[in-house]
Structure formats: structure tokens, C-alpha cells
């Protein structure tokens, strides 16, 4: 039989090549999946890995999808490096969208262009408020941040549905559950004509640089990582475990709220029930495929946006279900986990004990 044995020294090469191998495994399983559905696997893979990158407009759509994924993944990486498991970035993203919409709906045609800054700051505040609930319960009652943050996602969804079906519903929206479209002055400026790419991409890149600097070039970032990796050593060194929990969750929540603000004030342009797109959960995969490093997450966020756009194209052009996007995301995550298991453990063959040996009697 096979047995897992801990490797004395994990391979430095495979530590960074493991995500690439996981992607190849995902592609191979995807081919089998397309064949089992009676679809052309070559055309199916084109939907996911070629058509979303075939021209400048397609690249613009990739960046639109990758922006919220990258911003939220950066915040989650800060949490995960401190062993704080924020699974509810989706809820913080929704609250950021709600707070940002509250400011955007106050604007009119005479409002200053600087109101867009207020919209973004309101989004950050919304994420901070929602994350602080998890931080408080973890700090005060030692409640599991996994369960609390996850359950708060569903509370956020219900709050969103109440607002778009109730007090914020557009009276001229033909009874659709959505707010009135935001004034142009509150929208995130676009970078190119004919493309939906906006200044949020630049903010995402700036956030990646700032998170990298915080994690790897500041004493606070070092204390943050030590508090997660070795709590006893952190206490001995005088680092605050409570501060690490609060700091990680507030940074993560603020960035998720910013992503929500960028989404409603950018490509969507209003608050709708379709704001929750699963970005908060997909960002967990982005963070781990990117090895919790800002540079790696830049590439993994683009990869994940390929899955989103590819799933939409496979639905419209091949008649496949949109849930195929989630299938590919899950395949990538499980493939990565399997590859990482072999990174730290080796499979060894253990010969089972022989059953043919003669059992000596009690008088032997």
C-alpha cells in the first residue's frame, strides 16, 4: 500500500511550478469533461484560454474582471499570512457596494467630480464595518472567523435585496429590483475609448505594490507574518496577536469594500441584485494560486478572469451551463491542493505484513 511521508526539504522549483502543473491538470480534466458532455474539447478550451485574449477589447474585459479579484485577493493574502481565515470577503464586497451606492445616489448633475473619491472611501468604510464585526467577535469571544465571516455574507445579500426591492428601488426602472443609474460624475473614469477598462486597474496595481511593501519591507508586516506563523514567538517578541487579527481583517475588509465600490461605480453603474458575482470566494483561489504573493496574484487574477469570461462564452456559444465556471475554479483549486500535497509529502510503497507466516502456539 502507499503511504505519505514528509519530505525533508520541499523542492524550491516545484514550489513555484506547482500552480502551473495544477493548471495543466485542470486543462486535462477539462478535456475529459468536454468529451463526456459531447462537446468538442478543442473548441471548449478555445472559449476559456484563447478567445478571451484574442484582441484588445477582449483584454480590456479580462482586466475588468481581474480588477476586483486582485484587490480582494491582496486583502485575503494579508489575512491568510497571519493565519486569520476570512472566508467572507464576498459580504464585505457587497457592503462596500452598498455604502458606495449610498453616496453615489446623493449626486446630481451639479456635483463635483471629486465625489468619486467619496464613493470609493464609502466603499472602503463599508468593508471595514462588515469585517470589524468578525474581528470583534473573534477578539472578544474567540468566535471562529471562518463561520462568522461566512454567515455574514448571507446577511449582506439579504440587506442588498431589501434595499434594491425597497427604499432604493428606481421608480422609473420598470419594476426591476435596482437603483437608479448613477450620475456620470460618480463613475470611475475609463482609460480608453471603446473599452470598459477604468482607473480601477491602476488602483489594483498600486494596491499590489503597497501590499508587497507592507508584507516584505516593513517591521509591521514582519510582525504580522510572525504572529500567524509562530504565535508564541510573536508574544515573546512583544508583537500583539490581537493587533494582527484586527489589522488583517480590517485590511482585507477595506480592500474588499473598495472592490465593491469600483464595481458599482465602474462597469455596473448602479446597485443591482447581481452585484454578488462570487468574486469573494474566487479571490481565495486567486490568493493561493498566486502563492499569497502580490506578483503571483496579478497573474492568477487574470487566469481566474479567463474562467469567468470563458464560462460565459461557453454558455452562449456551446449551450453549456454557466456553472462550468465554478467547475473549472474548483478543479484548479483541488489540483493545486493535490500538487502541493506532493510538494511536501512523497508517496512511498509499504509492503503489507505477510499473512502466510505461521503463528507459533502458546507453548512454542
Statement to judge: residues 275 and 245 lie in one domain: yes
Statement to judge: residues 61 and 100 lie in one domain: yes
- Whether 47 is in a domain gets the answer no
Q: State how far the Cα of 187 lies from the Cα of 209, in Å rounded to an integer.
A: 24
The pLDDT of residue 275: 94
Within 13 Å and on the Cβ side, how many CA atoms surround 49?
12
- Whether 123 is in a domain gets the answer yes
pLDDT in tens, the chain (364 residues): 778 888 888 888 888 889 999 999 999 999 999 999 899 999 999 998 888 898 889 999 999 999 999 999 999 999 999 999 999 999 999 999 999 999 999 999 899 999 999 999 999 999 999 999 999 999 999 999 999 999 999 999 999 999 999 999 999 999 999 999 999 999 999 998 888 999 999 999 999 999 999 999 999 888 888 887 777 777 777 888 888 899 999 999 999 999 999 999 999 999 999 999 899 999 999 999 999 999 999 999 999 999 999 988 888 888 888 788 888 899 999 999 999 988 888 888 777 766 655 555 555 5
The pLDDT of residue 354: 64
- Whether 22 is in a domain gets the answer yes
Statement to judge: residues 311 and 337 lie in one domain: no
Q: Is 228 left (phi over 0), alpha (psi -120 to 50) or beta?
A: alpha
Statement to judge: residues 10 and 80 lie in one domain: no
Judge contact between 170 and 180, C-beta under 8 A.
yes
Domain that holds residue 215: 53-319
Q: What DSSP string describes 296-363? A: HHHHHHHHHHHHHHHHHHHHHHH---TTHHHHHHHHHHHHHHHHHHHHHEEEEE-PPPPS-S----TT
Residues shown for the chain: 364
The domain tally of the chain equals 2
Domain termination residue (choose one: 319, 337, 358): 319
- Whether 363 is in a domain gets the answer no
- Whether 241 is in a domain gets the answer yes
Beta-bridge mates of residue 198: 190
- Whether 112 is in a domain gets the answer yes
Statement to judge: residues 22 and 128 lie in one domain: no
Q: Look up residue 84 and give its DSSP letter.
A: -
Q: Please give the model's pTM, rounded to 2 decimal places.
A: 0.91
Statement to judge: residues 22 and 137 lie in one domain: no
- Whether 137 is in a domain gets the answer yes
Amino acid at each position: 500500500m502507499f503511504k505519505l511521508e514528509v519530505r525533508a526539504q520541499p523542492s524550491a522549483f516545484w514550489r513555484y511550478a506547482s500552480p502551473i502543473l495544477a493548471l495543466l491538470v485542470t486543462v486535462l480534466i477539462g478535456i475529459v469533461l468536454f468529451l463526456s458532455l459531447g462537446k468538442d474539447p478543442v473548441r471548449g478550451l478555445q472559449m476559456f484560454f484563447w478567445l478571451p485574449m484574442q484582441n484588445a477589447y477582449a483584454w480590456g474585459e479580462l482586466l475588468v474582471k481581474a480588477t476586483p479579484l486582485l484587490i480582494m485577493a491582496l486583502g485575503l493574502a494579508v489575512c491568510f499570512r497571519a493565519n486569520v481565515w476570512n472566508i467572507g470577503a464576498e459580504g464585505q464586497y457587497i457592503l462596500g457596494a452598498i455604502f458606495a451606492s449610498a453616496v453615489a445616489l446623493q449626486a446630481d448633475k451639479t456635483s463635483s467630480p471629486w465625489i468619486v473619491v467619496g464613493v470609493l472611501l464609502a466603499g472602503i468604510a463599508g468593508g471595514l464595518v462588515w469585517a470589524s464585526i468578525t474581528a470583534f467577535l473573534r477578539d472578544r469571544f474567540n468566535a471562529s472567523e471562518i463561520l462568522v465571516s461566512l454567515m455574514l455574507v448571507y446577511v449582506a445579500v439579504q440587506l442588498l435585496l431589501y434595499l434594491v426591492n425597497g427604499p432604493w428601488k428606481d421608480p422609473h426602472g420598470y419594476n426591476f429590483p435596482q437603483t437608479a443609474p448613477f450620475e456620470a460624475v460618480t463613475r470611475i473614469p475609463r482609460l480608453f475609448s471603446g473599452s470598459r477598462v477604468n482607473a480601477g486597474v491602476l488602483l489594483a496595481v498600486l494596491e499590489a505594490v503597497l501590499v508587497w511593501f507592507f508584507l516584505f519591507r516593513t517591521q509591521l508586516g514582519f510582525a504580522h507574518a510572525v504572529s500567524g506563523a509562530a504565535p508564541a514567538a510573536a508574544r515573546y517578541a512583544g508583537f500583539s496577536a490581537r493587533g494582527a487579527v484586527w489589522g488583517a481583517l480590517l485590511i482585507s475588509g477595506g480592500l474588499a469594500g473598495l472592490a465593491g465600490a469600483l464595481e458599482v461605480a465602474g462597469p455596473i453603474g448602479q446597485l443591482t441584485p447581481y452585484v454578488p458575482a462570487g468574486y469573494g470566494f474566487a479571490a481565495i483561489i486567486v490568493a493561493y494560486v498566486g502563492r499569497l504573493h502580490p506578483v503571483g496574484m496579478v497573474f492568477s487574477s487574470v487566469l481566474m478572469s479567463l474562467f469567468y469570461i470563458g464560462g460565459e462564452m461557453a454558455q452562449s456559444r456551446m449551450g453549456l451551463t454557466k456553472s462550468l465556471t465554478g467547475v473549472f475554479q474548483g478543479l484548479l483549486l483541488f489540483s493545486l491542493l493535490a500538487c502541493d500535497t506532493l510538494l511536501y509529502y512523497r508517496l512511498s510503497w509499504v509492503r503489507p505484513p505477510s499473512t502466510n507466516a505461521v503463528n507459533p502456539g502458546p507453548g512454542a
